[in-house]
Structure 1
Amino acid sequence: MAKSILKITVFITFMTFLSKIIGLIRDMKIASVYGASEITDAYNIALTVPNILYMVCASAIMITFIPNFYEVEEEEGKKGAFRFANKIITILLLISIVFYLISMLNAKALVEIIAPNLSKESFELTIKLTRITLINLIFTVIASVFSSILRCNNKYLGISLMPIFMNVPIIIFLFLNLWSNDIVLTTIVTTIGSMLQFIILIPELKGLKFKFRIQFKGYNDRVIDIFMKVLPILFGLAVSQISLIVDKNIGSSFTQGTITSLEMSNKITSVIYGVLTSTVVTVFLPVMAKQFLNEDKNEWLETIKNIIIYMFIFTIPITIGAYILNKEIISLMYERGAFTQQNTNLVSAAFVGYLLQVPFLCIRDIIGQAFYSSKNTIIPTINGLVTVIINIVLTVILSKIYGVFGITLATSISIILSSILFLITLKKVYPILNIKDLIIKSLKITLSSIIMGVGVYILYNQLFFITSNLIILVICTFIGILIYFLTCKLLRVNEINNVYKLMKDRVQKK
């Protein structure tokens, strides 16, 4: 069981990483054509609006969907679970359509709330682009339910391909239209990619014999109960979006391109962390839900602890390495065409602030998903509320002192405090959690990463004669991995052996 899960995890991680790289290629091309400017600020805000609406109208329900799907399947079989899924899709579609229509009529008000300090030209452009991207809300809802059904049935190929499928149209468009600086066309093509992403899920759904049907009848107590239980989550997510809006609001008052720098640095951070997060949510949330449903608390807690350790093995050394080489990474990725060195410095400042949170996101997100798998929605909601309040207060204070770095630093500090609070709460609720083992292994991984970081820093300063950022990154990465691996072996971080063995077995098979 554990071995098969690890193999699935490696596959999903690889596919997600590939999709993130393709997404970065898209962003690199957009940066090359438009730079970090008012145009890209408008584009990024327009893409943010439907995501905020999705988090408010559908995301809360999707968090509780998987545990309830399993329960219905046990009670009524596969057909009953599919009927339950169709009921949820029907409700969410109606809600999202209502949100879409209201948002289309009030696009100007939405932009005023999120970024009121834009110039007149940028403000009008943002409204225009937002009206194009709002349709993403409806298709994101469909894709979310479809992907959750596939997760419950251990089908991951389509889910892994979704981001790739979504980004390919915009990449092709940008490469075939090098002469075009029409951001409206770029936004339309981006939206088409988002609309099409759920299509890649249909073949696997057909293989499960799932058919989507609008269902207005038979809304039992379970469906009603779900919507009652998601109210705390809905409140928490709505509050978290306020934090995002505050960041954009303050960012819009700084120099042109600040919002773009926040988006770009966040996307680079998501490559470091989002790859593993997507894997955990995709693979392990159904596993944890089943374990809790079977009342196997020891195994459930052991799974939570092991996931955090395995994510630390990757995220802590990558975070330290990315901190040392942050400008080289950003320059290599974006600095070409209309994207200048000044833009690189702005993105770098934001990126360094975001990096601090990466390892702590592991604790926050995994424990949050664990509570959701146990149908405990109150604790994550309270945690999220505390995090958002801290983030907003710190953003207002630190942005005045440090500018764009202050905005991202505030986010990282709030995430660090949130993760510590989450871990303490989990231990209180489930005293049998072996937190001592988690702390010891985390310290070993951190020490190995610091030793690696010192080695990379010394090596980096000796490579001043090399002008190519790519060569510098390749050399430092290779030596860094070697130092980290050997140090983990010396400190007896046994989990590193499992990762190495799995990679070795896959290479030998090929």
Structure 2
Amino acid sequence: MQDKKIIKSSFIIIILIVLGKIMAFIRDALIASKFGATYVTDIYMFSLGTVMLLTTIGYGLTTTLIPMHTENIENKSQEEKNIFVSNILNTVGISTIVFVIIGIIIAPYIIYIFAPGFRENLEVYNSSVYILRIMFTSLFFVFIQSIVTGVLQAHKEFYAPAAMAFVSNIIFVIYLIFLSNKFGMNGFAIATVMGFAAQFLINVPRFKALGYKYVFVINFKDKNLIRLVKLMLPVIISTSIIQINLFISRYFATTAYEGAVSALDFSNKLNMLIYEVFAVAISMVIYPTLSIFATQRNNKEYKNALLRGVNVILLIMVPASIGVLILREPIVSLIFGRGAFDEKAVKLTANALMFYTPAMVAYGVRDILYKAFYSLQDTKIPMINSFIGICINIILSLILVNSMQVSGLTLASAISAVATTLILIIILNNKLNGINIRYLLKVFVKITSSSLIMGFIIINIRNVCFTQIGVNFKGDIISIILCFIIGVFVYFICIHILKVEEYMYMLELVKKRLGKNKS
């Protein structure tokens, strides 16, 4: 019965996440159509990126609050829980208000230092400062929502948090369809703040239903609050590496050409789609399993679970990255290629996406490895690894931006991601006295070989579609659908022939499930 509940809950959560992603793509397509790859979009993307970088503080808050509050749920009264949560809400709320005010004051300096391309045009500079100031106010809702979300997840309440992206994207889409022509990008910045506020508000009813009541208590010296902050810091640094690297890339992109930041962000969103849907979900599932085996000191099962998690990531992400690499131009054209987002913008975004694709695989594997270190209560190595990745990205961006422009920035990010992932594998292999890297390489070679055969097939299908139908909307959609169906079929035949163990394992589980249903 418990397994059925878990399966049902997981299924509903996946649906909510996918719905959020669909609405996000509608939002991005509307942004591209309404504003194109221009300085207007660049300003919004940079401002949103600055806020998203700071939201990693909220993620660290949620991540560290969950295990702490789980202990409270088991051992403390409702009154004690109310005081604990209210103190965090109040202290974080006050700190955030001060932080937002400082951000609004120094916004001109942030633009001047981190978006040097914007300061060359006074109108662009002033507009970027104004929008960044509006966007800073959303951080209040982000941080308060992070606390409420952490409390809900500690109680194993996942539906409202999973629906947050869907709700906020509905607000964005409504604005872009009905109000963007009248109020432009300034109005969209306000709509973005409203979207973050909506993410907080949808969690409140369930939060109150769990018996929580607001208590006016402020104690910055509370030992639990201090413990929370100490635990947060390495997690924030480790988990912010993707946003920091993207922020660095945006810095260099502002000096390239008009629309460079937009091309960078649109390509990144496409690159992150499969990672966010599949890899994040897999790492969430594998984390408690690794934690249990680590607590039990069951080294053999720990390594088996770790290898299985990494190989499942590879099984999904490697063919997906090759498919996106081959079909990048029709995908970009189909999703964004309309209105102000012209053919030039499509090509710039597609070229940037080409060099991003290796990062898709690296991000997925790195997530599993980070969870492995966290399960061993080691937060320092992921933090140091993050610093190494940032340094590699900065150095390569400086070298490649002049010759390759935005494509050089995405290549720098990809190389940084791959390098830091390989470093983590080596360190973890030494830490665990061997994780069977030879087996990992064997599976990787099988999966890559199958993916390359699939890639060869879909290249030919794509070329035939473009020759027979033309490079247009109809040709894009037919080529993507045919390539996906035939590509998946070819890939599964190849991994079946090569007997990739994780695939065979999942196949057996499906067969057993079907056998039970028949009986």
User: TM-score, normalized by length of structure 2?
Assistant: 0.88
2:488 is the counterpart of 1:481: yes
Report the counterpart of residue 45 of structure 2 in structure 1: 44
Give 5+ residue unaligned stretches, structure 1: none
Once the two structures are overlaid, the 10-residue window that deviates more, 370-379 or 451-460, is: 370-379
The whole-number CA distance in structure 2 between the counterparts of 1:407 and 1:21 is 27
1:110-129 to structure 2, matched below 5 A, reads 110-118=110-118, 119-129=121-131
Deviation at 1:96, TM superposition (A): 1.8
Once the two structures are overlaid, the 10-residue window that deviates more, 306-315 or 80-89, is: 80-89
Report the counterpart of residue 491 of structure 1 in structure 2: 498
2:316 is the counterpart of 1:314: yes
The whole-number CA distance in structure 2 between the counterparts of 1:6 and 1:503 is 17
Within the candidate set 376, 383, 386, 2:385 is matched to 383
1:102-501 to structure 2, matched below 5 A, reads 102-118=102-118, 119-177=121-179, 179-180=181-182, 182-217=184-219, 220-233=222-235, 243-280=245-282, 282-285=284-287, 288-289=290-291, 292-293=294-295, 298-431=300-433, 433-463=435-465, 464-467=467-470, 468=474, 469-496=476-503
Once the two structures are overlaid, the 10-residue window that deviates more, 408-417 or 230-239, is: 230-239
Deviation at 1:165, TM superposition (A): 0.3
Once the two structures are overlaid, the 10-residue window that deviates more, 112-121 or 286-295, is: 286-295
The answer (yes or no) to whether the contact 2:275–2:360 under 8 Å persists in 1 is yes
Query: Is the alpha carbon distance of 1:198 and 1:230 closer, same or farther for their aligned partners in structure 2, counting shifts above 3 Å?
Result: closer
2:71 is the counterpart of 1:64: no
Query: Is the alpha carbon distance of 1:16 and 1:360 closer, same or farther for their aligned partners in structure 2, counting shifts above 3 Å?
Result: same
Q: Secondary structure at the match of 2:338?
A: coil
The letter of the residue matching 1:457 is: I
The whole-number CA distance in structure 1 between the counterparts of 2:214 and 2:513 is 40
The letter of the residue matching 2:106 is: N
The whole-number CA distance in structure 1 between the counterparts of 2:241 and 2:505 is 40
Let me know the Cα RMSD of the aligned residues: 3.0
Query: Is the alpha carbon distance of 1:22 and 1:242 closer, same or farther for their aligned partners in structure 2, counting shifts above 3 Å?
Result: closer
The answer (yes or no) to whether the contact 1:230–1:377 under 8 Å persists in 2 is no
The whole-number CA distance in structure 2 between the counterparts of 1:203 and 1:38 is 40
The letter of the residue matching 2:24 is: G
The whole-number CA distance in structure 2 between the counterparts of 1:11 and 1:432 is 38
The answer (yes or no) to whether the contact 1:13–1:276 under 8 Å persists in 2 is no
Query: Is the alpha carbon distance of 1:457 and 1:356 closer, same or farther for their aligned partners in structure 2, counting shifts above 3 Å?
Result: same
How many residue pairs are counted as aligned between the two chains?
507
Deviation at 1:146, TM superposition (A): 2.4
CA deviation vs aligned residue, 1:39-71 (integer Å, no higher than 9, x gap)? 00111112122223333x544444433333344
The whole-number CA distance in structure 2 between the counterparts of 1:165 and 1:72 is 30
The letter of the residue matching 1:131 is: R
Question: Share of identical aligned residues, percent?
Answer: 27
The whole-number CA distance in structure 2 between the counterparts of 1:269 and 1:241 is 14
Deviation at 1:227, TM superposition (A): 2.4
Deviation at 1:303, TM superposition (A): 3.6
Query: Is the alpha carbon distance of 1:2 and 1:423 closer, same or farther for their aligned partners in structure 2, counting shifts above 3 Å?
Result: farther
Query: Is the alpha carbon distance of 1:337 and 1:144 closer, same or farther for their aligned partners in structure 2, counting shifts above 3 Å?
Result: same
The whole-number CA distance in structure 2 between the counterparts of 1:278 and 1:75 is 31
Once the two structures are overlaid, the 10-residue window that deviates more, 195-204 or 120-129, is: 195-204
The whole-number CA distance in structure 1 between the counterparts of 2:342 and 2:456 is 30
Once the two structures are overlaid, the 10-residue window that deviates more, 209-218 or 496-505, is: 496-505
CA deviation vs aligned residue, 1:245-294 (integer Å, no higher than 9, x gap)? 43222111111110011111111112121222442465554555555456
Q: Secondary structure at the match of 1:474?
A: helix
Give 5+ residue unaligned stretches, structure 2: none
The answer (yes or no) to whether the contact 2:333–2:346 under 8 Å persists in 1 is yes
Deviation at 1:170, TM superposition (A): 1.4
Report the counterpart of residue 22 of structure 2 in structure 1: 21
Q: Secondary structure at the match of 1:459?
A: helix
Query: Is the alpha carbon distance of 1:491 and 1:331 closer, same or farther for their aligned partners in structure 2, counting shifts above 3 Å?
Result: same
Deviation at 1:115, TM superposition (A): 0.5
